[in-house]
Structure 1
């Protein structure tokens, strides 16, 4: 079994999938075998084979190993809403134990690097009492934080890093992903986050028109992860 990391973000559109695919590609370029999981997804579309999520499908293409879709994304919901709301509407009981079991089963394969992508930000409810943030703790998996670089990123980034550490989970590193091409004082905000987030910066992804894994990988450094 190789290294496993949980990827979370400061918000829904921070760029988790873009960065996760970039990390997978950067690892592949170093000759490593990679695996990706998307345990929970909402905002799926109907296909002849069942519900499919765009982010999960991109992750499947980015990883080097093969995994059945249902094992890679075991809980998929159609409405683009908070997963616990979608699960309630679908009559599905979503629990931390269930998700942990799904992930452990998929992670029994042999790989060099496995990335588990979360849903939304760090504090995403699974049900009335459990959070998705409990998954990396249950799996004893360090976290990679993707900070969406836009106005408000200082508060979002620092609060999320603080919450991760307060939950007793290791923060392995963070990635700055520029999602606002016209962000005011970008360099100053980047410097502030670099100084105050107590983890190494694994990369700085500029605003790109091409979101492909090949375009993103050169901006990321996986050496400290592997």
Structure 2
């Protein structure tokens, strides 16, 4: 089984949760590998920090290019970054890389870019990619003001695509968020998928520690 990781926005902790999943399943003896099909905000070598973290959390040795088929220097919307680079993001290339990884691992954790409806080219977005991959989705909710609307809209978009949200994670981004627990309860009452856990705010998140905090055994079977 593999999973597609999406979030309510950019910077909500998708990489943190993706790496935590990799560490958790690796601890169960599984061969695991992370993948970020499209990355923006890269160094001069074309390497992205999120991708490096996924690579470090994987226990299957694969090339950087397999993990990250498309990378762009500027930290802007992927379709704009691709257009500026004279590149069209081709899903066939991404799917080929995914199947190569899946043939070498028991579990592939695929991290999306930004939120669920971020455009990737002129007529396709992250939701289209998730649908073509056909994987259950894990939703990372960035707990801060506005998160209820963002989480419920994202969950509705996942369902509208015909995909299953296998679980969600509440990642606390605002250390002083008012009514944090009440917001979590509101989402529990409205989201069908199980809450896999609450990640408290921390200045330097540690994916290995998060792996111990979350209840990945609650992931819904698809």
Q: TM-score, normalised by structure 1?
A: 0.93
Separation (CA, whole Å) in 1 of partners of 2:186 and 2:193 = 13
Q: In structure 1, how many angstroms separate the alpha carbons of the residues matched to 2:50 and 2:211?
A: 17
Give the 4+ runs in structure 1 shifted more than 6 A: none
User: Which 5+ residue runs of structure 2 have no aligned equivalent?
Assistant: none
Would you say 1:175 and 2:169 are equivalent positions? yes
Of residues 123-132 and 156-165 in structure 1, the stretch that sits farther from structure 2 once superposed is 123-132
| 8 Å contact kept, 1:6–1:143 | yes
Distance, in Å, in 2 between the alignment partners of 1:16 and 1:119 is 9
Q: CA deviation at 1:144?
A: 0.3
Report if aligned partners of 1:26, 1:220 keep a CA contact under 8 Å in 2.
Answer: no
User: Matched residues in 1 for 2:132 and 2:218: separation?
Assistant: 23
Instruction: Report how far residue 164 of structure 1 moved.
Output: 0.4
Residue 94 (structure 2) aligns with: 99
The CA distance in 2 between the partners of 1:129 and 1:40, in whole Å, is 16
Greater relative CO (CA pairs within 8 A, separation 6+): 1
| Counterparts of 2:158 and 2:54, CA distance in 1 | 24
Q: CA deviation at 1:198?
A: 1.2
Between 209-218 and 18-27, report the one with greater CA deviation.
Answer: 209-218
The answer on 1:90 being equivalent to 2:76 is: no
In structure 2, the residue corresponding to 1:58 is in which secondary structure? helix
Q: Give distance in 2, aligned partners of 1:9 and 1:182.
A: 21
Deviation at 1:191, TM superposition (A): 0.4
Q: TM-score, normalised by structure 2?
A: 0.95
RMSD (Å) for aligned C-alpha atoms: 1.3
- Is the 1:96–1:135 contact (alpha carbons within 8 Å) kept by the matching residues of 2? yes
Measure how far apart 1:126 and its partner are.
1.3
Shift of 1:69: 0.2
Aligned residue number for residue 12 of structure 1: 10
Q: What is aligned with 2:192? A: 198
In 2, the alpha carbon distance for the partners of 1:106 and 1:32 equals 14
Unaligned runs of 5+ in 1: none
Work out the number of aligned pairs and report it.
Answer: 220
Where in structure 2 are the equivalents of 1:1-80 lying within 5 Å? 3-47=1-45, 51-80=46-75
Displacement of 1:142 in angstroms is 0.6
SS at match of 1:133: helix
Deviations 1:93-114 (A, max 9, x none): 1133332233223222132x22
